[in-house]
Structure 1
Amino acid sequence: MERIRPFGQLDDGRTVHSCRLGDADGLCAEILDLGGILARLQVPGAGGRVDAVLRLPDAQAYFADPAYLGILVGRYGNRIGGARFALDGRDHAVSANEGRNHLHGGHLGFGRRLWEVQSHGPDALVLRLHSPDGEEGYPGNLDVVATYRVHGTRLELVFEACSDAPTAFNPTHHPYFNLSGSAAVPAAAQVLQVPVAGMLPVDDALIPLGRVQPVAGTPFDFRTAATLQAQLGGDDPQLRIAGGFDHCLVLDAGHACAAQLYSPHSGVAMRIDCDAPALQLYGGQGLARQHPGLGDGLCLEPQDYPDAPNQPAFPPAVLRPGTAYRRRIVYRFACPGRDRAWDEVAASLERA
């Protein structure tokens, strides 16, 4: 099996490579050294292998992608209002790449940079990136290591980082999941369960208002498993603002898993384990405009709170010198079968 192959070139002539993890019979992932992008994820399904994430054809398509398919996000995932923040009494202006606001690390961020392949084996890939002081406006020289591992039916991603100055830091991962394996099946037909304790309401620019809102009686209550289609029914003002789901769900403080997702069409299910305090749910409503014909996918992004550097009531998302950052995200997969009851789905994921 070819473990590493060219995946195209960028406009400046640099070659992008795809690194393969896993084997032909089990879970198999392809990761690019461009942006640490998860370019393909195949999982065993009832009718054969299922492509679980949306993908683009080559390196230039990923570099130009406005939807952030599959990227490692940083320095700061999600949004920073006004593209500026104060830290320890100093003001910092970061790149404004979504109107007047900052999104997913700026114009290039982590997702459009070539990472150094530190090591690559059959089941593990270690990527390294140096982000210099002032890049995208962030303070401090930052070194990040991202490690992907495949073991059994699990894909693991670990972020590790250190900085020589205090800096806002909130890395996350941005795959678009459609566990049906078919672009013809709406992503909103998937069943989702999240141990949600509240959600962060947003303004017209999708910047949090600075408070946590209860989810009971709202479309954001995924404590009981439901399809996104079912939750989108009705007239919720927050859904009108975003054109669907593009909101941060605050997780129950005692959560063991951050989310569970199931496609009754393919019978494939996924569980995300992470100790992050929140999960961004994005329904992918912009994809039809950004990538006509690509199909549907939704994002489940474990992270700290968006705009935390500007929101005194939110937990801080700051990396300081002498502190070793580490965050682990585990995607575990199972195939309980098509049209299963939710207790069967959850039990299969517990065993995965």
Structure 2
Amino acid sequence: MCMTADYLEISNGTLRARLLPQGAALNALWHSAVPRSLVLGWVDGAKGGYMGALVGPVANRIGGAAVTIDGTRWQIQPNEGVNCLHSGDQGIHTRIWKVTEHSKDSVTFALTLLHGDCGLPGRRVITARYALEHAALRLDICATTDRTTLVNIAHHPYWNLAGQGDVRGHHLLVHADSYLPVGPDKLPTGAQASVADLGLVARTSTPLIDAAALDHNLCLAPARSDALRPAARLTGPNSMQLSIATTEPGLQVYDGAGLRDTQNSANTGARTGPYAGIALEPQGWPDAPHHDGFPSIALRSGDNYRQTTLYTLELLQIP
């Protein structure tokens, strides 16, 4: 166990993770079989942005940066044209979370958002627990509120299982038949279409180099589940494989095409730049409050928001 003013580390022999209080972020994740981190990050910690952080309280995009909750209109900060991405510039990815537990193989963070914070109602108490379980990293996120609000939190690491190079050499398998098409503003149109339109084949491993540009929500299920279900499997050119299981109904897949090269930075994983990593983000469907057919992201007083994602890493044995 290692702790400094800037980051915390946990390990179990197979995996070692570095975590940051800012954004409750996963800054690095090492497997004993690979010398570099399997997620993008910087040696000196956070440099802003969403890399490795928890985003929310409402992840992804909200059209018009406004929602109506129980008859009252709530204005959120527009930070992507007239729309809102990841709850604005002061979302939970920017906050310094309190460390409430730290053991050899787990860390728990906590954050309180006051009524009106991030443009939404309710005093919201959020906890996030990272725990290493054999060759897996488990993330449990919980939230409560004292009045009806919206909660859709997403974990936003960028994966590169080789620890270097271009992720378009990876293969991706998704456990979804459909996705949400988007318009020029990247907001979902409300329709669903086959993942084949993205160059993916459901439940079949596909080379990322053959896929279309990816920044879309894949529809895993019509609602959040109490039980884990498979979401995706990513395989690197070095035979390292990541399997993701989650309780969430959606998986946002972003191929990292717009990642900027950060000069003069020491990286824990691949050097940051276009296609240096792929984001695979379990979450609710984007812009859900504006689409009656989407899974609800409303959270009411007395109810508990619970999200679990399991990231399992395995080095494949090649005959």
TM superposition shift of 1:220? 4.0
Q: Which has the higher contact order (CA 8 A, sep 6+)?
A: 2
Q: Provide, for residues 188-227 of structure 1, a one-character-per-residue CA deviation record: whole Å limited to 9, x for no partner.
A: 2111101112110111110011121123454243431111
- Aligned with residue 260 of structure 1, among 228, 233, 237: 233
The code of the aligned residue for 1:20 comes to E
Number of the residue aligned with 2:267 = none
TM superposition shift of 1:252? 5.0
Higher helix share: 1
Q: Which runs of 4+ in 1 moved over 3 A?
A: 252-255, 289-293
Local SS of the residue matching 2:64: helix
For residues 93 and 70 of structure 1, the distance between their equivalents in structure 2, rounded to whole angstroms, comes to 27
Deviates more, 1:130-139 or 1:209-218: 209-218
The code of the aligned residue for 1:52 comes to L
Equivalent residues, number:
306
The code of the aligned residue for 2:262 comes to H
For residues 99 and 198 of structure 2, the distance between their equivalents in structure 1, rounded to whole angstroms, comes to 44
- Aligned with residue 262 of structure 2, among 288, 291, 301: 291
Local SS of the residue matching 1:333: strand
Aligned residue runs from structure 1 range 212-227, under 5 A: 212-216=192-196, 218-227=198-207
Does residue 116 (structure 1) correspond to residue 98 (structure 2)? The answer is: yes
- Aligned with residue 127 of structure 1, among 109, 114, 119: 109
Compute the TM-score of the two structures, normalised by the length of structure 1: 0.83
Number of the residue aligned with 1:18 = 7
Say if 1:132 and 1:299 are closer, same or farther in 2 by CA, change over 3 A: same
- Aligned with residue 38 of structure 2, among 52, 55, 60: 52
Number of the residue aligned with 1:150 = 132
The code of the aligned residue for 2:232 comes to A
For residues 221 and 251 of structure 1, the distance between their equivalents in structure 2, rounded to whole angstroms, comes to 14
- Assess if the C-alpha contact under 8 Å between 2:261 and 2:272 holds in 1: no
Number of the residue aligned with 1:322 = 302
Does residue 250 (structure 1) correspond to residue 250 (structure 2)? The answer is: no
Local SS of the residue matching 1:257: strand
Number of the residue aligned with 1:278 = 250
Compute the TM-score of the two structures, normalised by the length of structure 2: 0.91
TM superposition shift of 1:143? 0.2
Deviates more, 1:84-93 or 1:211-220: 211-220
For residues 99 and 155 of structure 1, the distance between their equivalents in structure 2, rounded to whole angstroms, comes to 36
Unaligned runs of 5+ residues in structure 1 are: 7-16, 233-243, 341-352
- Aligned CA RMSD, in angstroms, stands at 1.8
- Assess if the C-alpha contact under 8 Å between 1:192 and 1:259 holds in 2: yes
